[in-house]
Structure 1
């Protein structure tokens, strides 16, 4: 038995692949373009493992995707591949349209052709699992209830708009053509192997390098934080038991304001690797807010917990500490994924428009 994973050299995808192979001997074919946020270094723990095959290709390449499906005959496609950084979507929306919309469309088209050619017993067990984001729901005020699966889509960035469009295509392929799809909407992930442009690894790596810790606006934007291992557990659960055509919200039950989260990281770092000059919190710097910055995300995960029996295991406190310990112990991984271009992009992104307030 085989599953096809797209984007399996990225953050969530690589954690899913590694986690899967610790619990199953089922083979994984890993399709990844290896863009800036995808790295072979994230897959080193399974280097040489016959259960894993990395194919470097683009999900927009119809021939490559079709050939992989025919050759490996996966029982499921688990689709992570996406451009996912809001700031980058503001700089170059077209890249997000191509990967997130065109790429998902191509996968759906190829998967449907493959599915229709399967014998009835294999077709009955085939699944297409699309991994999406809570950002498609837009922004919440402080007193609004958390996002449920019935919330209307209100994307506010090119990134979330591209993911919303891909979600709609997945839904249409199920209802129009009968493709056995499943969709998950996750809250903000964190944990090992996250590319250091996202908030938590950025703060950890900047702190250790004695660089400013940039916080957008007043720092009171709220996110629900989900440890990536909890997310992987939820995805396995949905893949095994989810109802076809349904969407499942996956949240960590850990709402925190950005500034409070960064201070918690600094407190943990103060204990784990003390700074000679004082607390890491002294490096916190407020910068000009990003355009259209959503104020609050919160996930109502009662559907997946009540129907499928999944629930998150990590608190923010335990998860943040474990994440920091991983980064402290894996400087080689960090050096492998960073580049001069990435460092230059970060400098431009956060040094312009500093807000002393």
Structure 2
């Protein structure tokens, strides 16, 4: 399906719209001439960070996912629009912070999702698709007793797909898995046209610098050392524009009641990822080969770290034609360029100063 023809003048509702993925999704929807409604956290200042420049092209609804009344009020904007789409991207999405703020993580990610789904039912909205964004962290590590249920590459790497067992190892991952199941519950019980999408590790401009890619880049831009935690885990890194395209393809072409997982289709250790980022930055004269130092205080607690994540995205590719378009080195170059040229957007948010 042509994304242009599928979204022009169509009503679309986005939660988490001012966040990392959400803001890029909003940009794409505006470009495709959709009728964009965004749901953002109500604050005393009412300030928007990432989509402020889009305010004259979107409808802004302020509230809190944990407050059913504000969710009802915002979603009522979709009444009378039978083919509208809902992208649910809002969440407390940092693994480390889910241990520091477990109750807020559970309340936002689980109850917030429940409020959205129940509001669609209560308002009797005739939506075309409800996409809940999950996470690759839901897969966790492979349990010995579940080995036979997994798929493996010839080199022994675990290949994760829609058929793979889940084993969440953090409060964040568990809360997102619960949100996935709630989304499917409402499809089974009420016939809502829901889908769930598990994106593998997204990175790119505007991401909170506490995530691995941003913390490497911001430290390298500011000093001669880069302090990191465990560098042995492997991740499947997917550039943000590819992640956004995945959401759009699933919303327009995915089958209700189904799950879709996607990512770059290759994984890399965090040591190699850090090395590659520093190489690209040196190549483009952003810095001069900073030194990487490991700090045990940055490790995840106990045995909660996920050792390896690698996606098999055949399902979304076969059903919608989606595949990644941005290479790692090109995605890294674009990301470094954004951090280098937008220090006011991240300088007060780092955790290494």
Asked if the contact 2:13–2:85 (Cα under 8 Å) also holds between the matched residues in 1, the reply is yes
Task: Report the CA distance shift for 1:295/1:68 in structure 2 as closer, same or farther (over 3 A).
Answer: same
Q: Summarize the alignment of residues 133-282 of structure 1 with structure 2, pairs less than 5 Å apart.
A: 133-140=135-142, 143-210=156-223, 212-217=225-230, 219-275=231-287, 278-280=288-290, 282=291
- For 2:214 and 2:142, locate their aligned partners in 1 and report how far apart those are by CA, in whole Å: 25
Residue in 2 that maps onto 1:94: 103
- For 2:339 and 2:52, locate their aligned partners in 1 and report how far apart those are by CA, in whole Å: 15
Confirm whether residue 40 of structure 1 aligns to residue 48 of structure 2: yes
* Correspondence for 1:9 among 18, 27, 34: 18
- For 1:148 and 1:323, locate their aligned partners in 2 and report how far apart those are by CA, in whole Å: 27
CA positional deviation for 1:211 = 6.1
TM superposition outliers: structure 1 runs of 4+ over 6 Å? none
CA positional deviation for 1:181 = 0.2
Asked if the contact 1:9–1:39 (Cα under 8 Å) also holds between the matched residues in 2, the reply is no
RMSD: 2.0
- For 1:274 and 1:231, locate their aligned partners in 2 and report how far apart those are by CA, in whole Å: 26
> In structure 2, the residue corresponding to 1:48 is in which secondary structure?
helix
CA positional deviation for 1:39 = 6.9
Asked if the contact 1:215–1:258 (Cα under 8 Å) also holds between the matched residues in 2, the reply is no
- For 1:34 and 1:216, locate their aligned partners in 2 and report how far apart those are by CA, in whole Å: 34
Confirm whether residue 56 of structure 1 aligns to residue 62 of structure 2: yes
Confirm whether residue 79 of structure 1 aligns to residue 110 of structure 2: no
- For 1:192 and 1:274, locate their aligned partners in 2 and report how far apart those are by CA, in whole Å: 16
CA positional deviation for 1:96 = 0.7
CA positional deviation for 1:329 = 2.4
TM-score scaled to structure 1, two decimals?
A: 0.86
Number of residues paired by the alignment? 324
Residue in 2 that maps onto 1:129: 131
- For 1:145 and 1:3, locate their aligned partners in 2 and report how far apart those are by CA, in whole Å: 36
> In structure 1, the residue corresponding to 2:39 is in which secondary structure?
strand
TM-score scaled to structure 2, two decimals?
A: 0.87
* Correspondence for 1:70 among 53, 65, 76: 76
Residues 135-181 of structure 1, C-alpha deviation per residue, up to 9 Å, x if partnerless? 11112598243111011221000100000111111111111221110
- For 1:215 and 1:39, locate their aligned partners in 2 and report how far apart those are by CA, in whole Å: 32
- For 2:157 and 2:184, locate their aligned partners in 1 and report how far apart those are by CA, in whole Å: 27
CA positional deviation for 1:347 = 4.2
